[in-house]
Amino acid sequence: MKTRILDIEQQLIERCLQDDPKAQMKLYQKYAAAMYHVSRRIISDDLQAEDAMQEAFITAFRKLDQFKGDVVFGAWLKKIVIRKCVDLLRKEKMITEDVEDLKVIDETEIEYDNLDVHQLKIGINQLQENYKVIINLYFFEGYDHEEIASILGISYQNSRTLLNRAKAKLKTILKDMEYGRSIG
């Protein structure tokens, strides 16, 4: 069954390579919701997240000849979406910290004992954009530090440091939320 789905997708891709708008729309409809969620996890603003996702699809269709099929199409598209989101945040100067000057700091672990997903999302949304981006890339998108470094154009060490700082800040936010709840 999985092979059949991949064959159908490959046929869609081949039709897209021939500039078939119906095939492009089918591929778009298949992946739009998932790619929007990826975009939205990185960009707080709904409209900007949607714009980044739309731009990623345009780029993907333009560069479809570069898709080699060594990964599934969705994974290839997801990388484009993430790059578009990061580019947009850079353009809007929402990624503020000069990550090239970071030094390695100790690992900071977040204790998840009494934490629910809603609290975590609220905490992440309170982070500055560069911290939000790296938290999402590492924990939700599953990228390792080498991949993150490549996406953000930083060194491996800076990726580790930025993630550690983001986790430390998130830990502070989550503690403040817990403290606020207990006294309120």
Q: How many domains does the chain have?
A: 2
Residue pair 134/167 in contact (Cβ under 8 Å)? The answer is no
CATH code for the domain of 29: 1.10.1740.10
Length of the chain: 184
Same domain, 33 and 113: no
Q: Residue 139 is encoded by which pair of tokens?
A: 């924990």
Residues 34-82 have pLDDT tens digits of 999 999 988 888 999 999 999 999 999 999 999 988 888 999 999 999 9
Count other C-beta atoms under 10 Å from residue 31's C-beta.
Answer: 21
**What pLDDT does residue 117 have?**
74
How many Å apart are CA 108 and CA 114, to the nearest integer?
A: 18
For the chain, how many helices (H) and strands (E)? 8, 0
Q: What is the mean pLDDT of the chain?
A: 82
pLDDT, tens digit, 9 for 90 and up, residues 138-180: 988 888 999 998 888 889 999 999 999 999 999 999 888 875 5
pTM of the model: 0.69
Same domain, 164 and 85: no
Domain CATH number, residue 145 = 1.10.10.10
Domain encompassing residue 123: 99-183
What is the per-residue pLDDT across 71-104, written as a single tens digit (0 to 9) for each? 889 999 999 999 999 888 888 765 544 444 433 3
Q: How far is it, in rounded angstroms, from Cα 51 to Cα 30?
A: 18
